[in-house]
Amino acid sequence: MFSIRLFSIVFCISGALGTFSARGFEVHEAAAEVPWPQHIGPYATGTRIEDWRHVFEDGSEVRFKMQLWYPASVNTTACKRAPYFQSIENKRIIEKIGKMFGFQSDVLKPLTRLQTNSCQDAPILMGKAFPLVIFSHGYWMYLQQNTALMEMLASSGYLAVSIAHSGDSLPVFLADGTVIDTVPYEGDGASSAEEAFWNGSDHAARTAAYLGFMEAIKDQRITHSLHIWQRDIVAVLDDLESGVSGAFLNDSIDFEKVAFAGMSFGGATSAAACHHELRCKAAINLDGFQYDARLYDTEMRTPFLLMNKDWVLYDADESPQSPDFNASDYFYEPLTMAGNIPDIYRVRVRLTRHIDFTDLALIKDIGATGDIFGDLAGPLTLESVNRAVLAFLDHYVRQKDNGFPEKTLRHYPGLVLRDAGAVARWKASQ
């Protein structure tokens, strides 16, 4: 079984998506509608779902779905609002989400009725080339889990692509009727080195255990998935650039302005993929622990935004529960320089937990409560996180002088900018 720490980080549940009862979870009478964020940008937003197939040089192939959001050429009367879930997905996906998090079906039903802000299959706005953001979901999560963020980006002039990592996601339904189901996670118990890393009393103990931790998981599925997901992200970029996928885009992508982003395991793999892929200009990780050892004690190649849950207020996955330390502090900068490299941003989002970095944060405002959620209202959670992501991308991908991060932090005081300087001070004392 996965340790509880790995569950929180990558959304894995031991067994084949068996029932997980959230501690303290309660269900109240659900409201009729999800409080979906309003359209905020200057562009109308279109969305399209495409099946994707890529054959690699070694002869292996991958099939999955991707959903694209983009500035659209459409008037309001011609817009057919896109549903949050496609009809074929409603029952299976809702059942799986309910089993993972212990939700009763009534709490999730409003998602099946939700109409988003995007126009289904609308033509893309011609005459411009838009920056590209490739997004990866959390482990055993789903393609649309951050639709609110994707719509915000598209309405602000980005082309956002979310990809479903088949086998490591909830079931993927292809147009030809093929269903690629979730592959159960079996075995791979926590090693003594892993426990020593997470439970170490100080930096010396944790860093001493780290290499053993990585050695223990090198042949496990989590490491295999790490490399597969990175490969898939780059393959999507390759196919979009060559025109193999997304033919309807008609040269509407600016491939000089590419970013990778994701949530949980998808955030960690996106950061790693961006570090190794020279076409990527910036990366965003929404609360994912980094499993790529090549980013340990290493300077991230590009500007980077890491946003973490409030591990200080709530039961922590990391130890100790200090605002001055998070296990991610050992990554993205050399230990000797931790907290001192410009363009590496570490943000703690007060009153949030892991699940709050997805659209599911909104269901706590229509009847779901429990300690898998933070106490920050769902709409404000998504607004503050998504606005920070947009401001970061505007600053580093579009090169806008927009006052990031100071302006964003002033507007959203729940975002706490922090550094990893305690690690550097410890290292200097050795």
The CA-atom distances, in angstroms, between 242 and each of 134, 234, 281, 396 are 16, 12, 19, 25
Distance of alpha carbon 329 from alpha carbon 322, whole angstroms: 12
Distance of alpha carbon 393 from alpha carbon 376, whole angstroms: 24
The CA-atom distances, in angstroms, between 122 and each of 58, 80, 155, 174 are 37, 8, 13, 20
Name which of 72-86, 151-165, 270-284 the model is least confident about: 72-86
Distance of alpha carbon 223 from alpha carbon 112, whole angstroms: 34
Pick left, alpha or beta for residue 333 (phi over 0 → left; psi -120 to 50 → alpha; otherwise beta).
beta
**Residue in 158, 183, 376, 148 with CA at minimum distance from that of residue 263:** 148
Pick left, alpha or beta for residue 250 (phi over 0 → left; psi -120 to 50 → alpha; otherwise beta).
left
- Contact between 155 and 43 under an 8 Å Cβ cutoff? The reply is yes
Q: Residue ranges of the domains in the chain?
A: 4-428
Please report the pLDDT score of residue 112 as a whole number.
87
**pLDDT classification of 30: cutoffs 50, 70, 90:** very low
Pick left, alpha or beta for residue 102 (phi over 0 → left; psi -120 to 50 → alpha; otherwise beta).
left
Residue 395 or residue 11, greater confidence? 395
Burial class (CB in 10 A: 0-12, 13-18, 19+), 219: exposed
The per-residue pLDDT for range 239-253, each reduced to its tens digit, is 999 887 666 787 899
Please report the pLDDT score of residue 345 as a whole number.
98
Tokens standing for residue 315: 């039961």
pLDDT at 373 over 70: yes
**pLDDT classification of 97: cutoffs 50, 70, 90:** confident
DSSP character at residue 327: G
Pick left, alpha or beta for residue 279 (phi over 0 → left; psi -120 to 50 → alpha; otherwise beta).
alpha
The per-residue pLDDT for range 139-165, each reduced to its tens digit, is 999 999 999 999 999 999 999 999 999
pLDDT at 213 over 60: yes
Residue 108 or residue 163, greater confidence? 163
26-35, 63-72, 83-92, 144-153 — most confident range: 144-153
- Contact between 135 and 162 under an 8 Å Cβ cutoff? The reply is yes
Please report the pLDDT score of residue 75 as a whole number.
75
Strands 368-369, 253-263: parallel, antiparallel or unpaired by DSSP?
unpaired
Distance of alpha carbon 364 from alpha carbon 376, whole angstroms: 10
Please report the pLDDT score of residue 227 as a whole number.
94
pLDDT at 358 over 50: yes
Distance of alpha carbon 127 from alpha carbon 136, whole angstroms: 28
Reply yes or no: is the peptide bond before residue 405 cis, omega within 30 of 0.
Answer: yes
Distance from the Cα of residue 238 to its chain's centroid? 21
Find the mean pLDDT for residues 203-227.
93
Please report the pLDDT score of residue 96 as a whole number.
83
- Contact between 299 and 386 under an 8 Å Cβ cutoff? The reply is no
The CA-atom distances, in angstroms, between 271 and each of 274, 286, 306, 332 are 5, 10, 9, 9
Q: How many CA atoms lie within 13 A of 388 on its CB side?
A: 32
The backbone torsions φ and ψ at residue 83, rounded to the nearest 5 degrees and listed phi first, read -70, 155
The per-residue pLDDT for range 297-335, each reduced to its tens digit, is 999 999 999 999 999 998 655 444 788 899 999 999 999
**pLDDT classification of 280: cutoffs 50, 70, 90:** very high
Distance of alpha carbon 163 from alpha carbon 239, whole angstroms: 13
Indicate the CATH number of 4-428 among 3.40.50.1820, 3.40.50.720, 3.40.640.10, 3.20.20.80. 3.40.50.1820
